[in-house]
Amino acid sequence: MKNIAQQYAPLIQIVDDDFATRLLMRASLEKAGFRVAEAENGLVAVAEFEELQPDAILLDVMMPKLDGFDTCRAIRRHPSGMHTPILMVTGLEDLESIHRSFDSGATDFITKPINWPVLNYRVKYMLRASEAFHDVIDKQKQIQELAFFDHLTGLANRTMFKDSLEILLAESAAEESQLAVLFMDLDRFKTINDTLGHHTGDILLQNVAARINSCIRESDSFSRLKKNESKNYVSRQGGDEFTIMLPRLTNPEDASKVAQRINNALAQSFKIEGHEIFISASIGISIFPLDGTEAEVLMKHADLAMYHAKEKGKNGFQFYKKSLNIKARERLNFENDIRKAVAGEEFELWYQPQVSMQDGRITGAESLTRWNHHILGQVPPSDFIPSIEELGLIVPFTDWVIHQAGKQQLEWQKDGMRPIRVAINISSKNFIQQRLPEKLKRIINDKNVTPCFFEVEITESVLAEQSGETLKILRHLKELGMTISVDDFGTGYSSLMYLKSFPVNSIKIDRFFVKDIINNPQDAAIVQAIIAMAQSLEMTVIAEGIETREQFRMLRDMGCNIGQGYLFSPAIPAKHFARLVQVDNSFYNFK
Ligand code: C2E
Ligand code: MG
Ligand code: MG
């Protein structure tokens, strides 16, 4: 009877046609505490792989029937063999075999004659590396699960919804079919929540979600829905807001039938914990391609239509009409205004401090653009940046930001302020066309600024494109001495693969997760997983949107490196920022 440790020891499969070699390997590995299985050729090894699930494989190169290279390839094609460590046993300095082993997917190689103590260590090292790798992969999976679904209703969350919508829009464009986006808001939900309590409110939202789902499933307007496809077509955007997408409409009027069906379904009262609750909803509808071709625009228009439905009396639905937004003329003015602002008149760059979580010192600043519109007053970036992108003005706009940030660095330097790293936000739109390396290099030379005092903030979508050109640009920026951070992390792809294959220095946890970190264990778990992942990749973690001391303490204890948020300061004009840097050390005393 083996003891427990032996039963759970890693299992190593030896694949070699030579009986004596197998015997020696077995003896050596068992002595080192491993369990061993043998296969006398490649065919046997592949056939037994599924059942054995070895933790690592030692694979001889020269074997009859199936040689080591083909065996390795076959195992790699197996769904659970993708990441199994495979050590190739090759002839001494047989470069050709070493080269072919690598190409067929081997993890490492060892040469014959075998130095036994070295073999044991080689296996141990391989297992250690694979364990670390699996750890990181597990964390990534966890983040994705937590990050894409709404925990209360099980519906898609806004990120998932937007991703699915983008995919469907591309399909609809290719098929030349129509698609509707429904934006739905419950009427008087707040009153119910306030009078009956949050718990009842939560159960009500779950019931509403179920009823919406049943209306969608019954729908005859898009009968070609593939199995399970509808899962991501209904989302809770947060609070009492839901969105629905209906692809492959033959007629936009079909969308109103679904809206009507939802209203009818909600008209029947809900019985929750002894209360009978009546509720209704207002629904706005936008249609692709009539009301827009991009996900964000369609969502915005459906949202606007929803407000219109509310105004017209609740429990109804409205289609978006261009006139609902701004009248065509006013819209034209707005475009002209943006063009003028980009030409350099009304924008201003403000700075929000980034603070070390350890000692409270200011380590950097994020630059954020402010638009002082001559009539509308201060317009928030979330309103004008999408318009800038739509109008194709992102390149001149980014040029302005870079120029401004460089100029500011020089001015601060002249005023004797200690050098501070400034992060600039780079839109993912036309990322390649922005020719960042050339432009940043020029500004650094012109203004005589040290490159390490520039940080470039990109979003995950830039990395997700996986283009060689993007990689080239980022490498170039890094060579110039700049740092790169990934903004709004957690809301997008959250993929380790992207992070690993690009030269990224830090990730910024989106404020959406920080907001509820104290009260929502799920958000806390996401943040903890992101931090662990970043640490294993040796990246710095910046948390956005820290507003309270509790959030600060929790994030610091989780190992977050840098913080940003209203607790320290909102974005402020350059002059005020300089003053803040002067009082620096004594200023943030949040222990
Ligand atoms: P972002 O890059 O994620 O910037 C952080 C946003 O969070 C800023 O909003 C900031 O004012 C806000 N914020 C910071 N701390 C807190 C906090 O404690 N609580 C809350 N509630 N909010 C906080 P802002 O300035 O409205 O900018 C919104 C977005 O617009 C930015 O998100 C960024 O994506 C974009 N943006 C701003 N300036 C530029 C720019 O110059 N170029 C580009 N391409 N995008 C920009
Ligand atoms: Mg940012
Ligand atoms: Mg952000």
The DSSP code sequence of 30-97 is: HHTT-EEEEESSHHHHHHHHHHH--SEEEEES--SSS-HHHHHHHHHHSTT-SS--EEEEEETT-HHH
Does residue 333 form part of some domain? Answer: no
**Does residue 316 share a domain with residue 379?**
no
Are 445 and 506 in a shared domain? yes
The token pair that represents 544 in the structure block: 């956005």
At residue 137 the predicted structure's pLDDT band, cuts being 50, 70 and 90, is confident
Which of the listed residues 350, 367, 368, 567 should we mutate to test ligand 1's pocket, taking the one with most ligand atoms within 8 A of CB? 368
Question: Phi, psi at residue 64, to the nearest 5°?
Answer: -70, 170
186 alpha carbon to ligand 3 midpoint, in Å? 29
Largest CA-CA distance found in the chain, in angstroms, rounded: 88
> Is residue 79 assigned to a domain?
yes
Residue 327 clears pLDDT 70, i.e. is over it: no
Does residue 335 fall inside a structural domain?
no
Question: What's the 7 CA to ligand 3 centre distance in angstroms?
Answer: 48
Same domain assignment for residues 45 and 8 = yes
Q: Which amino acid is at 363?
A: T
**How close is the Cα of 320 to the center of ligand 1, in Å?**
28
Task: Give nearest CA residue, ligand 1 atom 3.
Answer: 488
Q: Clarify whether residues 472 and 379 are in a common domain.
A: yes
Phi-psi region of 116 (alpha: psi -120 to 50; beta: other; left: phi over 0): alpha
**Chain segment 165-194, per-residue pLDDT in tens:** 999 999 999 989 999 999 999 998 988 888
Q: How far is ligand 3, taken at its centre, from the CA of residue 543, in Å?
A: 9
Which ligand approaches the C-alpha of residue 489 most closely?
A: 3
278-304: pLDDT as tens digits: 899 999 999 999 889 999 999 999 998
CATH number at residue 412: 3.20.20.450
Q: Which residues touch 58 (CB under 8 Å, ≥6 apart)?
A: 12, 13, 14, 15, 16, 25, 87, 89, 119, 123
Centre of ligand 3 to C-alpha 512, Å, is: 9
Query: Is 50 exceeded by the pLDDT of residue 46?
Result: yes
- Mean pLDDT value of segment 92-96: 77
Q: How confident is the model at residue 4 (pLDDT cuts 50, 70, 90)?
A: low
Ligand 3 centre distance from Cα of residue 460 (Å): 11
Closest atom of ligand 1 relative to the 368 alpha carbon? 38
Q: Is residue 52 part of a domain?
A: yes
Domain range for 54: 4-146
Rounded Cα gap, residues 434 and 331, in angstroms: 26
Look at ligand 1, atom 35, and give the residue with the nearest C-alpha. Answer: 381
Domain count, the chain: 3
Q: Give the SS3 label for residue 556.
A: helix
Domain of 172, CATH number, reads 3.30.70.270
What span, in angstroms and rounded, lies between the C-alpha atoms of 34 and 156? Answer: 45
Compute CA 38 distance to the chain's CA centroid, rounded to the nearest angstrom. 43
By the CB criterion, residues less than 5 angstroms from ion ligand 3 are 487-488, 544
CA of 130 to the centre of ligand 3 (A): 33
Same-domain pairing of 164 and 137? no
* 169 and 142 housed in the same domain: no
SS (H, E, C) 78-111: CCCCCCCCEEEEEECCCHHHHHHHHHCCCCEEEE
CB 142 within 8 A of CB 529: yes
Evaluate whether 447 touches 407 at the Cβ level (below 8 Å). yes
508 and 482 belong to one structural domain? yes
Residues with CB under 6 A from ligand 1: 352, 368-369, 380-382, 385, 401, 425-427, 487-488, 511, 544-547, 564-566, 570-571
Structure tokens at 288: 């692709």
Residue 374 lies in a domain: yes
What pLDDT does 6 receive? Answer: 63
What separation, in Å, do the N-terminal and C-terminal C-alpha atoms of the chain show? 56
Domain assignment of residue 327, yes or no: no
Rounded to the nearest integer, the mean pLDDT of the chain is 87
Same domain assignment for residues 205 and 348? no
pLDDT digits (tens, 9 = 90+) for 431-486: 988 899 999 999 989 888 888 899 999 998 888 777 889 999 999 999 999 999 99
Tell me: the pLDDT tens digits for 226-257? 444 556 789 999 899 999 999 988 888 888 88
CA–CA dist 296, 427 (Å, integer): 15
The answer to whether 99 and 70 have CB atoms below 8 angstroms apart is no
Task: Please state, as a whole number, how many other Cβ atoms lie within 10 Å of the Cβ of residue 391.
Answer: 14
Q: Does residue 171 sit in the same domain as residue 56?
A: no
Question: Which atom of ligand 1 is the closest one to the Cα of 547?
Answer: 18
Residue 457 CA, closest ligand 1 atom number: 2
Atom of ligand 1 nearest to the CA of 385: 45
pLDDT tens for residues 388-398? 888 888 998 99
Q: Whose CA is nearest to atom 46 of ligand 1?
A: 425
Which ligand 1 atom sits nearest the alpha carbon of residue 510? 3
Reply yes or no on whether the pLDDT at 326 is more than 80: no
Which bound ligand lies closest to the C-alpha atom of 548?
1
Q: Is residue 328 part of a domain?
A: no
Is 83 part of any domain?
yes
Q: pLDDT category, 565, cuts 50, 70, 90?
A: very high
Whose alpha carbon is nearest atom 17 of ligand 1?
545
pTM exceeds cut of 0.85: no
The rounded Å distance from CA 508 to ligand 3 centre is 6
Domain-terminating residue out of 321, 353, 372: 321
Q: Provide the pLDDT for residue 2.
A: 47
Task: Starting from the CA of residue 508, give the closest ligand.
Answer: 3
Atom index in ligand 1 nearest the CA of residue 380 equals: 26
Cα of 425 vs centre of ligand 2, distance in Å, is 5
545 alpha carbon, closest ligand: 1
Examine the domain organization and report whether 570 and 548 are in the same domain: yes
What CATH number does residue 51 fall under? 3.40.50.2300
One domain for residues 106 and 199? no
Tokens of 508: 């910024």
Identify whether the C-beta of residue 236 lies closer than 8 Å to the C-beta of residue 157.
yes
DSSP 197: -
The verdict on 369 and 301 lying in the same domain is no
Chosen domain end from 257, 288, 321: 321
Ion ligand 2, residue ranges at CB < 5 A? 425, 457, 487
Looking at 146, 169, 198, which one is the last position of a domain? 146
**Which ligand minimizes its atom distance to the CA of 566?**
1
Contact 314, 280 (CB under 8 A): yes
Tokens 């898009």, residue located? 222
Distance 423 CA to ligand 2 centre (A): 8
